[in-house]
Chains A and B, each alone.
Chain A
C-alpha cells in the first residue's frame, strides 16, 4: 500500500473505549462491533490491495441513529468512513485506523413503490438488483446496472455515480435518481429533491451523487423506474483490427442509432472469456463487439439489420445476431464474466477504469501494448465502447516480489495516457484512494481547491471520509482566505458602455 492516509489521531484512539461505549448507547445490541476478528470483513472494499482495520464498526438502523452518531463524531473530532456493500474498486470505503466505519447494510428496505409516478423509494442498503426485482412483477426495472449489481447497494451507487453497460442509452445513477435524504456531519437531516424533476435551487443532489461519501450520509433514495423494453437482441461482431471495430462503433452512432449497450473486447479478453464461459465467441479476431438493441420487435429487427450492414462495411469477419433470449444472455455471459475470466488466467488482476474519446481507442491500445512490454505484465481489455469507458485488466501475481508495485505503476501510466488523449481518470469506479494522487494530472490546484471548498460547505471540519479523492487536505479556514486587492478598472483599453 503506497498511498499516504491522514495522520492517525492518537488522542482519539486513546479514547476508544469511551467512544465504543457511547456508540453502544446510540445503537444498542449487536450494532457496534469492536473485536478485531469481527471487524476483519470491513478492513477493505473491492480494492483488496489496500487494507486497514477501523477503530470501530457501527451498523445503525434508523436515520435518527445515523444523525446521533454523526453529531457525536462531529462534536468529538472523530473521523467517519461510510460504507455500503464494500464493492468499490477504488478504495472509497477503506477504513481509517482512528475512524468509525459507518456500515449502512441494515438500511435494506424498499419503502415505497409508486408506479403512477414511476419511482421507488428505497433505503441505501438495498442492492441495485433488488430495486429491479421489487418492481419486476409489474414489468418495470431500474436502469443503471453496474456489473456488481447483485451485491452493490443503491447508497454506494449514489456515492460513486455508478454506470453499467446500459448507461449510453439510459444514463448513469445521476440521471436516474430524483431525491434523497441525507445526514450531514452536524446531524442535520436534509431532503434533496423528491418525486418531482429538477432542483428548486442549486442542484445539491447532483453534487452529492458521485461525491464518494465525502459530503454526507444518504439514508433514503428516490429512483426513477422504467417499463422494460418489449424485447432485446444482441449482435456479436468480430473484426480483424481494433481500428475497424472502433470505426464500426462510430458509424453506428453516427447514423443515429443509440444501442442499449455496445461493448468491445480485445483478443486477450476474448480468449480468456471463451475458455471460461464457452459463449461461442470467435477466437481468430482482434476485436469483438456486442451491440444490443432494445425496444419493440419491429424496431429491434430493423436496427439489427442496419447494424449488420454497417459492420460488413467496416470489414467485419463474423457477425451473428441472437435469435433467442437464451442466446442473447449467452453473448452477455461472456462479457459479464470478463473479470473472473481474467482471474482464471492470472493469479491476480488489477482492474482499471479510464474514459477516452472513442476515436483514440486504437492509439490507446497500441500504447498500452508498449507499456505491457515495458512492465512485463499482460493486459486484457474490455471496453464500454459506446461511451469510451475502458477497463484494462492488468494481469499480475502478488506472490512474485515487486509485481503488485509494477501493476500499480502500469495502471497509473494507463490513466495518465487516458488524460493525455483528452479523457479522464475514472469513468465509473471513482477516485477513492486509488486515483487520489493522480488527480493533479487532470486538475490544477485551483480546480481542486474549488472542489474542496464545496466539501467545506457540507463538512467544514473535514471529518467525513478524509484521505479520499483529494491528494492534499487543506483546512477550510485556509481555503476560505482570499487575497483582495483594490485598484483600477480592468482592461481600460476596452470599450465600456
Chain B
C-alpha cells in the first residue's frame, strides 16, 4: 500500500517535495483522484494528497474573477457561480463517469492540470484560456507564483499555460485564479436530422462560418443518438447551440434554421431540451454508459472540416461522435483490451491533430502511448521543460510519456 502525505499548507507541500527529492522518492499528485485511471499507470512511491487545499479565497463577480485553493471541489465552485448567475465558460467535462467513477468528484486544480473543456470550447476556449494566476510547488520543492488576478497580463512568461494540461508532471498547484463569466440568459438548439458524417461536418462548417455565433456544434450519428437526452428522435442529429439574450437567440435560431435547410430536415429544441442535450454531450454519455465501460476510448483533436474521414481510416466496428464542430472526436473501440492504437495513430497523422487513449486497462496503458507521441525535437524540448520544473522527476513521473 502506498504511503500518503497530506500537507496542510504550502510550506508542508514544499517540505514534502524536498523530502522526496532528497530521498529519491516519487510522488503521485492527487486531488480527489477522479482522473487517476487516465494516463500511463503510475509507479510512484508516495501519494501527495492535495485535498486539504480547499476553499474559495476570493470571488468578485463584477471583476469576473475567482480564486480558490487548488483542491476545492469543482462542484462547490460551480454551485457558487450558479448562485451568482455566472459559470465557467469553458464548460469543463467530467472524466469521472468515463473512468467508472461517480460524477462530480473533481477539483478545480484537476480541471486546470488536465486542461478540461466542454462543448463551448470552440467559442470560449479551454481551461487554459481562463487560467489567470497560480501558486504551485515545483519539483524543486519551491513555491512559485505566476500571473495574477487580472484578465489582461503579459508580465513574464505565461506559466499558467504550460501548467494547464501538464497532468501534475511539472508542479503541484496550491492556489489558482480563474476568469468567470455571466451565464447566458437563454439558449436554443437547432437540429438537422439524418445527416451522414460528411454532410454533418459540412453543415457544422457552414454554421460556424456564419455570423450566428454558434456556441457549440456536435454530430451524433445514428448508432449513438439514443444515448443523448433531449433529442426528439433517436436518429442521427447534427446539433448547434445558440446562447444569449432572448431576442438574439430567437433571431439567430431563425437565421441558422434557414441556413441549414439545404442540408436536411431542421427542428429546434427549446432551452430546457437544449440544456439536457448539451449536458449529455459534455459528459460523453454514450461512452459513460455501463454497457460501454469496457470499450477502450480515444479522444481525438483534429482540424474539424475533414474529421469525418476518420470513419474510413479506422475499424467500422468503432463507435464515435463529434463535438467542437468536428474538431473533437470521441471514439470507442469494439473490444476490451484492444485499443487499435496503430490505426488511430495513422489516422491522426493523415488528418492532423492528436489522440489520447482516455480509457483502457492499466496493462494496455503501460504498453503503448497514452498521449500522442511527439516527433524527436519536440519530445526533447518537452523533456527539457519537464526538467526545468522537476529535475529529479519526482512529480507524477511517466504519467504523460516515459521519462517525462
**The one of B143, B149, B164, B209 that contacts A118, using a Cβ cutoff of 8 Å:** B209
Determine if A198 and B301 form an interchain contact, defined as CB atoms under 8 angstroms apart.
yes
Q: Which of A197, A424, A497 makes the CB contact (< 8 A) with B155?
A: A424
Given known A116-B305, A117-B304, A358-B63, contact A422–B149 (CB-CB < 8 A): yes
Q: Say yes or no: B4 contacts A117, CB within 8 Å.
A: no
Q: Which residues of A contact B100 (CB under 8 A)?
A: none
Contact with B along A204-248 (1 / 0, CB 8 A): 111101110000000000000001111000000000000000000
B115 at the interface (CB under 8 A from A): yes
Interface 0/1 of A357-391, CB less than 8 Å to B = 11100000000000000000000000010011100
| Inter-subunit contact B143/A446 (CB<8 Å) | yes
Is A207 a contact partner of B161 (Cβ separation < 8 A)?
yes
Q: Is the CB–CB distance between A200 and B128 below 8 Å?
A: no
Complex Cα distance A302/B250, Å? Answer: 13
- The 0/1 profile, CB within 8 Å of A marked 1, for residues 118-135 of chain B is 000110011011000000
Contact with B along A174-208 (1 / 0, CB 8 A): 11000000001000111110111111111111110
A375 to B146 CA separation, bound complex (whole angstroms): 32
The answer on a CB contact under 8 Å between A167 and B382 is no
Find chain A residues with CB under 8 A from B23 CB.
Answer: 486-487
> Is there an interface contact between A254 and B61, defined as CB atoms closer than 8 Å?
yes
Contact assessment for B162 and A298 in the assembled complex, using a CB-CB cutoff below 8 Å: no
Is B115 touching A198 in the complex (CB atoms < 8 A)? yes
Most buried by A among B62, B143, B154, B245: B154
Query: A446-464: contact bitstring with B at CB < 8 Å (1 yes, 0 no)?
Result: 1110110111111000000
- Minimum distance in angstroms from B26 CB to a CB of chain A: 15
With A423-B150, A450-B142 known as contacts, the answer to whether A201 contacts B302 (CB < 8 A) is: no
Complex Cα gap A114–B391 (Å) = 41
A359 touches B62 (CB 8 A): yes
Known contacts A194-B353, A295-B213, A302-B248; is A446 also within 8 Å of B154 by CB?
no
Shortest CB distance A87–B (Å): 15
Give Cα distance in the complex from A408 to B6, angstroms: 48
Closest to B384 in A: A457
Q: Which one, B21, B211, B356, contacts A296 given CB within 8 A?
A: B211
Query: In the complex, are the beta carbons of B150 and A424 less than 8 A apart?
Result: yes
Q: In the complex the two chains form, is B352's CB within 8 Å of A194's CB? A: yes
Q: Does B258 contact A (CB under 8 A)?
A: no
Interface of chain A residues 408 through 441 with chain B (CB within 8 A): 422-431, 435, 439
Partner of A204, one of B146, B151, B381: B381
Residue of B115, B161, B353, B382 most packed against chain A (CB within 10 A): B161
A236 to chain B, nearest CB (A): 22
Known contacts A171-B125, A486-B22: does B8 contact A422 (CB below 8 Å)?
Answer: no
Rounded to whole Å, the gap between the CB of B71 and the closest CB of chain A is: 15
Q: Does A303 contact B (CB under 8 A)?
A: yes
Contacts of A455 in B (CB 8 A): 157
User: How far is the CB of B63 from the nearest CB of chain A, in Å?
Assistant: 6
Are B63 and A454 interface neighbours, CB within 8 A? no
Verify B352–A427 contact, CB threshold 8 A.
no
Known: A206-B161, A387-B150. A298 touches B211 (CB 8 A): no
Known: A194-B353, A358-B62, A426-B155. A296 touches B149 (CB 8 A): no
- A201-B374, A303-B245, A424-B150 in contact; A480/B391 too (CB < 8 A)? yes
Residues of A within 8 A of B182 (CB): 253, 255-258
CB contact under 8 A between A387 and B16, given known A210-B158, A299-B248, A482-B140: no
- In the complex, chain A residues whose CB is within 8 Å of the CB of B382: 201-202, 204
State A253–B180 Cα separation when bound (angstroms).
11
B2-24 near A? 1/0 per residue, CB < 8 Å = 01111110001001101101110
User: What residues of chain B lie closer than 8 Å to A206, measured between beta carbons?
Assistant: 128, 158, 160-162, 164
Determine which residue in B143, B155, B354 has the highest number of CB atoms from chain A within 10 A of its CB, and name it: B155
The yes or no answer to B311 lying at the interface (CB within 8 A) is: no
Residue in chain B with minimal CB distance to A179: B352
Given A197-B301, A296-B252, A496-B4; A202-B385 close (CB under 8 Å): yes
| Chain B residues whose C-beta falls within 8 Å of the C-beta of A358 in the assembled complex | 62-63
Q: Which 10 A-B pairs have the closest CB atoms?
A: A206-B161, A299-B248, A256-B182, A200-B354, A200-B372, A116-B305, A196-B353, A457-B384, A195-B303, A453-B388
* A-B contact list, 24 entries, CB within 8 Å: A117-B205, A174-B161, A175-B125, A194-B303, A197-B121, A201-B372, A202-B166, A203-B115, A203-B128, A203-B161, A204-B382, A205-B161, A250-B63, A298-B251, A359-B60, A359-B62, A387-B151, A388-B151, A429-B154, A439-B156, A446-B143, A455-B157, A490-B18, A491-B5
